[in-house]
Amino acid sequence: MLAYLLGRLAAGAVAIALLTVVVHALLAATAGDPLVALLGPTVRQLPLEQQARLRAEAGLDRPWARQAADHLAGVLRGDLGTSRRSGRPVTAELRDRLPATAALALAALPLALALGLAVGTATAAAARSWLDTLLSGLLLVGTAVPAYWTGLLLVLAFSLTLGWLPSSGGGGARHLLLPALTLGLAAAAPLARITRSSLLDALAEPHVVAARARGLSGAQVLWRHGLRNAWVPILTVAGLDLGRMLGGAVFVEAVFAWPGVGLLMVDAIAARDAPLVQGVVLVGAATVLALSLIVDLAYLRLDPRVRYR
Amino acid sequence: MTAPISARRRGRRLHPSGATGAALLVALLLASLLAPWLAPRAPTEIDLQRRLAPPSAAEPLGTDELGRSTLARVLYGGRASLLVAVAAVLAAALGGATLGALAGAAPGRLDAALMRLVDALLICPPLLLALAIIGALGPGLWHAAIALALVELPVFARLTRSVVIVTRDLPFVEAAVASGAGRARVLARHVLPAAVGALTVQASLTAGFVVTALAGISFLGLGVQPPTPDWGDMLARARTHLLTAPWLMLAPGAAVTAAVLGCNLLGDALRDALGSPAARG
């Protein structure tokens, strides 16, 4: 068990290190002259010797592999470099923005789980009825609606027409409600679909049919035999979903000007701030890795058949 | 893991919802290709006399802040939003299949190295990685398409590799090798065809994400550059006129939704008919 966990962590660390080097190489190879990015286009007017000296001072004259290795070593020490846009450490920029994104995700997740599980269970319990057909159709469309459009529709309805909630900006719970609803709705649709299909699979098992024959009520069967056996696939999708949600958060933050990491990423790209871009990618990958570990550990509790060696 | 598609499963009929999805996609593609005949006027034609005009007989979807026809821009927008997305998916599928076939057929060490790379790329949320690549290439519609193709490529590589590994030890492949066919020929003629079904399913499921992401990247202002019409860019512009001209955001949003719905319906039906490809990751 412990060996399995350590193995997973080691593999994850290797993957993240490799990702760091690949993204670094990509940005270094294509993002234009890093000295210009660092000091502005006027640097080109300086004498060549002075340009070379500045280049050496910034460590830009090192061979490419050396720069990538130094960057990786910095990451291991917790030093993600300096943002070119603000001149502040990337870690400080991330620390400023992470709480907003975390609040958004933590508010959206229970919403997605509650809605996804409720609608999924309802459609499975009423399988092949008109309610199932109606809700399943809605879910299909719901999975297809892009989060940025949902966001605009919600703003139009709740901010501009009804005037109940602010349409953009960071702040307290009132500002968080619409972005969290947008993100939660986007994550709920796939969750509901997997809940429906894994519940239907679980309810078709012979022991469930036997339980029904013994006279258990529909609700008892659903709870004791259905959901309990459907948790594993649901959890897998929830874990994957959260990873995708991190991507979707970029759109939601952009619609609502919610000052999180996603908006930071968009600004960093517009400003060609390579160190900041790398920092956000690292945070994203580390979060996905952590989530998949948590999901693996949760399997142990939910399904006694699962063993890790 | 993906089992090769057996002849029995291949014969299974497509679910009607798949036909609906295909019809939806064909209709959207045709509308964007026939835009010159369907649109009331050119999508870039500015008419300051008719700024933010509500829907009317002449302009069924109203006009934007520069008096441009929304209908024309939605129709032409399909070219950027849909055709470029299709190109990105094709590039990802072909590149991924090539890489996956190499990995599956190559000796252990190259295979392991390629798969570590694939794992590393798959660990990052796809949209975030795509944005990072755009950060490297700079904003632009084709840069966004390249970024999305690169991000989805590992999924296809992994899928192809798993099919190749299962198929390469099957008797008919051994027979081909024994009868003297070269490695490349065996791979191309006997092994890779087994992956086509799974690749097709994955491609149609990936297309939904790529369409959303491509329009989304333009929505963020990192994709298409003005004045080229694009659904995501139209939504970004509509955002500033939500209250005064709410019709501006309806058509482009509905167009993205319809396109993604078409991809998902087709993908789900193909998966049921052809067998399921390996899950992502």
Choose the closest CB to B135 out of A12, A15, A272: A272
pLDDT surpasses 70 at B5: no
The label of the residue with tokens 């499963």 reads B9
Mean pLDDT of B153-175: 87
Between CA B140 and CA A296 the distance in angstroms is: 39
Residue B247 has pLDDT above 70, yes or no: yes
For residue B2, the model assigns a pLDDT of 44
| Surface-to-core class of residue A264, CB atoms within 10 Å of its CB (0-12 exposed, 13-18 middle, 19+ buried) | buried
| C-alpha span between B220 and B235 (Å, rounded) | 10
Neighbours of B273 (CB within 10 A): 18
A82: tokens are 């300096």
Q: Is the dihedral of CA B37, B42, B48, B54 positive or negative?
A: positive
- How far apart are the CA of A112 and the nearest CA of chain B, in angstroms? 19
A269 to B212: CB separation less than 8 angstroms, yes or no: no
The secondary structure of chain A as a DSSP string is -HHHHHHHHHHHHHHHHHHHHHHHHHHHHHS--HHHHHH-GGGGGS-HHHHHHHHHHTTTTS-HHHHHHHHHHHHHHT---B-TTT-SBHHHHHHHHHHHHHHHHHHHHHHHHHHHHHHHHHHHHTTTSHHHHHHHHHHHHHHHS-HHHHHHHHIIIIIIIS--S--S-S-SHHHHHHHHHHHHHHHHHHHHHHHHHHHHHHHTSHHHHHHHHTT--HHHIIIIIIIHHHHHHHHHHHHHHHHHHHHHHHHHHHHHT--SHHHHHHHHHHTT-HHHHHHHHHHHHHHHHHHHHHHHHHHHHH-TT----
- Reference A18, options A59, A68, A89; nearest CA is A68
3-state secondary structure of B63: strand
Burial class (CB in 10 A: 0-12, 13-18, 19+), A122: middle
For residue B8, name the pLDDT band (cuts at 50, 70, 90). very low
Express each pLDDT in A185-219 by its tens digit: 988 888 888 888 888 888 888 887 888 788 777 77
Q: Which of A240, A238, A287, A241 is nearest to A261 (CA)?
A: A287
pLDDT at B3: 45
What span, in angstroms and rounded, lies between the C-alpha atoms of B63 and B214? 24
Instruction: Walk me through the domains of chain A, giving residue ranges and CATH numbers.
Output: 2-76 (no CATH), 97-302 (1.10.3720.10)
How many whole angstroms separate alpha carbon B43 and alpha carbon A210? 64
Phi, psi of A82 (to 5 degrees): -115, 135
Minimal Cβ distance to A160: which of B121, B243, B280: B243
Interface of A with B in 132-171 (CB under 8 A): 140-141, 143-149, 152-153, 155-156, 160
Dig out the tokens for A155 from the structure. Answer: 């703003």
CB-count exposure of residue A217 (10 Å: 0-12, 13-18, 19+):
exposed
Name the residue among A153, A251, A272 with its Cβ closest to that of B216: A251
Residues facing B69 on adjacent strands: B63
Residue B117 near residue B174, CB atoms below 8 Å: no
Q: Tell me the C-alpha distance between A247 and B252, whole Å.
A: 21
**Which chain A residue lies closest to B213 (C-alpha atoms)?**
A146
- Check CB contact under 8 Å for B123 and A274: no
- The percent of residues above 90 in pLDDT, for chain B, comes to 37
Name the residue facing B253 among A15, A152, A265 (closest C-beta).
A152
- Give the span between the Cα atoms of A82 and A129, in whole angstroms: 59
Q: Beta partners for A82?
A: A89
Per-residue pLDDT at B1 exceeds 70 = no
**In this predicted model, what pLDDT tens digit does every residue of B15-68 receive, in sequence order?**
888 899 999 999 999 999 988 898 888 888 888 887 887 888 778 888 888 878
Kindly state the DSSP code that residue B224 receives in the 8-state scheme. -
CA distance B69 to B60: 9
As a whole number of angstroms, the distance between CA A251 and CA B216 comes to 7
This model of the complex carries an ipTM of 0.86
* Shortest Cα–Cα distance, A261 to chain B (Å): 11
pLDDT tens for each residue of chain A, 309 residues long: 778 888 888 888 888 988 988 888 888 776 566 677 667 667 777 787 888 887 777 777 777 778 888 888 888 888 888 888 888 999 999 999 999 999 998 899 889 989 998 999 888 888 888 888 898 888 989 889 999 999 999 988 888 778 788 877 777 778 888 999 999 998 888 888 888 888 888 888 888 788 878 877 777 777 777 777 777 778 877 777 677 777 788 999 999 999 999 999 999 988 888 889 999 999 999 988 888 888 888 877 777 777 666
Distance of CA B65 to the CA centre of its chain: 30
